[in-house]
Amino acid sequence: MSKMLLLLVLLSLLSPAAEALVNGLALKPTMGWLHWERFMCNTDCDTDPDNCISERLYMQMADMMVKDGWKEAGYEYVCIDDCWPSYQRDARGRLQADPKRFPGGIKKLADYVHSKGLKLGIYADVGEKTCAGYPGSLGYYETDAQTFADWDVDLLKFDGCNLKWTLLGDGYIKMSEALNKTGRSILYSCEWPLYEWPFQKPNYTAIRETCNHWRNFNDVFDSWNSIKSILDWTASHQDIIVPSAGPGGWNDPDMLVIGNFGLSHDQQESQMALWAIMAAPLLMSNDLRDICPRSKDLLQNRRIIEISQDPLGKQGHRSAKGNHFEVWERPLSKNRLAVAVLNLQEIGGPRGFAISGVPSWKVCDPQCNVTLILPQYKEMGVQTKESKLILKVNPSGTALLTVTPINDFGRLHWKNTN
């Protein structure tokens, strides 16, 4: 283990994260549904009424979240992204929904979503215009925050287009203050570091004090190359971003694209497993009205969700890389460990990975209990540090497991050597 990685592990295990935004929200990674990757900026409700950005779409997704077990699994936010507003503010300077696509307005939509026991998220931008060219919040931070509160919105995704990068911090902080001033609990999802990284290393202490989660890297696409690029960026910057994550504030690698078109089932399992290891918000962008059963079962897998929502609130990290494998580890509550072994080879068949190659496998001295979660659930039983267990991992797939020290000696060993 490198000195840098050892320092990272010690920081994540022994040091509390920086002071979080004090609004009592996002104590665990946010779970829900967000329209952007799947539905983008489709505003043509005349020719494509089933898929355009309209109140009907969000009502139907809310219905499906209750009907098909998503709410029960833990997904609670139904989130609007860009392209919902009118191109003009109203006479009082307030944002207003497009009257044709949202005839009832956002307040009525929020009431509908709340009637299902769910929460509504909305989108705005720190700059003059949103990324798609709709009115931005620059000069209207307090007005927009109060408007969202009046509408009973529960989450704000605040994008970073169309503003000089040197003004990003001030804009994000002002909107955070404006949201808190309303007195309504509104989870605050930022993109501050995403837009600052091209110019300088962001101040993650300030970001964590301002936001409940924050995007760092490029938008996700419905492709395996996109997923890999996000994992590569995260691993190469983990010494900077991992210590900032914890209850109240999380690094956001962007949406889950599971159940769409671009990923094989093994690749979908890899995204789900690694997002859980990274303590990432689980915001699906798919069509819940038409999703294949295997993707649904994966997204609702309670054992993966338990890792995601683990109360210790520590983000995992990449701990080893070699021979076209990556090992990612996340410390869990009750002295447990979650491990993901990713096979990066995209040719051939399943490849074997010796479990002893997991850097923290020493937690199994003298003994541990191992549970395999992906690719299929299996109790692997009691193992030791000397176990010769081989994991079979499909090309671009992931083996996900939890490791539980059996006795006090094992727990003490884990605490004192990591």
Q: Give me the phi and psi of 351, to 5 degrees please.
A: -120, 150
| Two structure tokens written together for 103 | 């005839």
3-state secondary structure of 284: strand
Q: Has 219 been annotated as catalytic?
A: yes
Helix axes of 55-67 and 105-115: crossing angle, nearest 10 degrees:
10
User: Residues 152, 219, 239, 365: which is the catalytic one?
Assistant: 219
3-state secondary structure of 322: strand
Reduced to 3 DSSP states, what percent helix, strand and coil does the chain have, rounded to the nearest 5? 35, 20, 45
Contact 279, 308 (CB under 8 A): yes
For residue 321, which of 347, 348, 357, 352 has the smallest C-alpha distance?
357
Beta strand 213-215 pairing with 187-190: parallel
Q: Which residues contact 348 (CB under 8 A, 6 or more apart)?
A: 395
User: Residues 144, 159, 222, 266: which is the catalytic one?
Assistant: 159
* Cα–Cα distance, 249 to 373 (Å, whole number): 27
Contact 327, 318 (CB under 8 A): yes
Beta strand 390-393 pairing with 351-354: antiparallel
Q: Has 159 been annotated as catalytic?
A: yes
In this structure, the number of other CB atoms found within 10 A of the CB of residue 349 comes to 8
Q: Which residues form the catalytic set?
A: 159, 219
